[in-house]
Amino acid sequence: MAIRPILHYPDKRLRVPGEPITEFDDELKELVQDMAETMYSAPGVGLAAPQIGVSLRLFIIDIAVGDEEPSDLKVFCNPEFIDRDGEIYYDEGCLSFPGATEEVCRAERVSVRAQDEHGETFELSADGLLAIAIQHENDHLEGKLMIDHVSVLRRRLLHRAMLKRSPRKAR
């Protein structure tokens, strides 16, 4: 297992949509393990493969908070939404936007169909933080970012803040 570098906005690779996963092999399982180690060390509650420069339709989520709650890592390969319902505003953060949070409007409840790292299909209905995390991470698979969900003014401010934070130019 290895901790992989997380791409930071405005890196152009964050805008590349993920390709469908067709091989559920040891290489994919190793990628999932690397992503989990990377996410936990960051720390974060979710990580999408495009955030580490891997253009696959894969994300992981673990919303267990603190040491008293057991880990509940969920792996989503090739996810697709079955249903979205309601509306909720939530202050979201993102590992690709270090130190930033923005209020984002999401569906309050979602149902999703996906495959796990073994290729087994499952369906999951979620609300609360899990529903928000699923939508946030799925956006990464589409090349969509947290900044795309805010007003033009907030977008400009966030863009400038991220440029100040990292003097490196976007690739």
Q: Domains plus CATH for the chain? A: 12-165 (3.90.45.10)
pLDDT at 69 (0 to 100) = 76
Report pTM.
Answer: 0.93
**31 touches 120 (CB < 8 A):** no
Residue 18 Cα to chain centre, angstroms:
12
Question: Which pLDDT score, from 0 to 100, does residue 171 have?
Answer: 42
Catalytic annotation on 117? no
Given 92, 102, 117, 137, the catalytic residue = 137
Please state whether beta strands 46-48 and 121-127 pair in parallel, antiparallel, or not at all (unpaired).
Answer: unpaired
Among residues 5, 10, 3, 4, the alpha carbon closest in space to that of 97 is found at 10
pLDDT, block means (10 residues), the chain with 171 residues: 94 97 98 97 96 98 81 96 97 96 97 98 97 98 96 94 72 42
pLDDT at 170: 46
Q: Cβ of 112: how many Cβ atoms within 10 Å?
A: 20
Q: Is 116 helix (H, G, I), strand (E, B) or coil?
A: coil
- The answer to whether 119 and 147 are in contact (CB under 8 A) is no
Angle at 73 between CA 64 and CA 3, to 5 degrees: 100
* pLDDT at 168 (0 to 100): 55
Alpha-carbon dihedral angle through residues 70, 75, 80, 86, given to the nearest 10 degrees: 20
Pairwise CA distance, residues 132 & 138, whole Å: 10
